[in-house]
Amino acid sequence: MKAWRGVLIALSFLLLSGCLVTFKEPLAASDPAPKGLLGKWSSTNAWGDSMNLELTRLGHDRYQAVTYFKAKPHEREAHPFTVARHGSRWYLSAKVPAQYGGHYTIAGFELTDKGELVIYNLDLEQINQAIKQKALDGQAFQTDDGDGVQVDSSLDKVFAYLDDPANSDVFVEAVRYQRRASGK
């Protein structure tokens, strides 16, 4: 679980109950990150560990998240990701390790008026419900670390579902970061 937890921390998708929603397609690298996203962030996870997150540009509309625990600053993990704005929401997408299907995960995020970075996971139960109701295509899968669901729908169909106001509760706050002071 250590490698997967590193990926999740890197992109702030802390596993809620070991659940994972993956997609066959990544978000296209077509949007620049919103002003204020890049930089150094910090948070405390559910276990009380201080975490640091550094978001930087890799190239044209491609970014990298580097994470590490404050107690272990030399144990860093780096993961590339893309961002996209769709409707009124910002999303980020990253590749999932092969042991979890090797596809992509998508999360929502926002920059608050208080200068916080808030990351939202997709609720596994609600995505499963959408698949059972044929609003999305996909199937469940199991890993050693918990349940997951692979969404096979095109991104157009996924965003039509996510943009529907009736589905606004499909997003669950996963983590809230604060901007790190430049001297830390």
Q: Residue 184 falls within a domain, yes or no?
A: no
Output the CA angle 111-24-174, nearest 5 degrees: 30
Q: Residue 161 falls within a domain, yes or no?
A: yes
Q: How many CA atoms does the CB half-sphere of 76 hold within 13 Å? A: 12
In this prediction, the residues of the chain whose per-residue pLDDT falls under 50 are 1-18, 184
Strand partners, 32: none
Q: Residue 13 falls within a domain, yes or no?
A: yes
Q: Residue 168 falls within a domain, yes or no?
A: yes
On average, the pLDDT of the chain sits at 83
Q: Residue 54 falls within a domain, yes or no?
A: yes
The predicted pLDDT at position 153 comes to 95
What is the total count of domains within the chain? Answer: 1
Q: Residue 163 falls within a domain, yes or no?
A: yes
Q: Residue 175 falls within a domain, yes or no?
A: yes
Q: Residue 165 falls within a domain, yes or no?
A: yes
Q: Are 123 and 172 in contact (CB under 8 A)?
A: yes
Q: Are 15 and 21 in contact (CB under 8 A)?
A: no
Where in the sequence is the domain holding 80, given as residue range(s)? 2-179
Q: Are 116 and 47 in contact (CB under 8 A)?
A: no
Neighbours of 19 (CB within 10 A): 19
The predicted pLDDT at position 132 comes to 96
Q: Are 47 and 15 in contact (CB under 8 A)?
A: no
Q: Report the predicted TM-score, pTM, of the whole model to 2 decimal places.
A: 0.83
Exposed, middle or buried by CB within 10 Å (0-12, 13-18, 19+), for 55? buried
Q: What are the tens digits of pLDDT across the range 47-86? A: 888 888 999 999 888 999 988 888 787 888 888 999 999 8
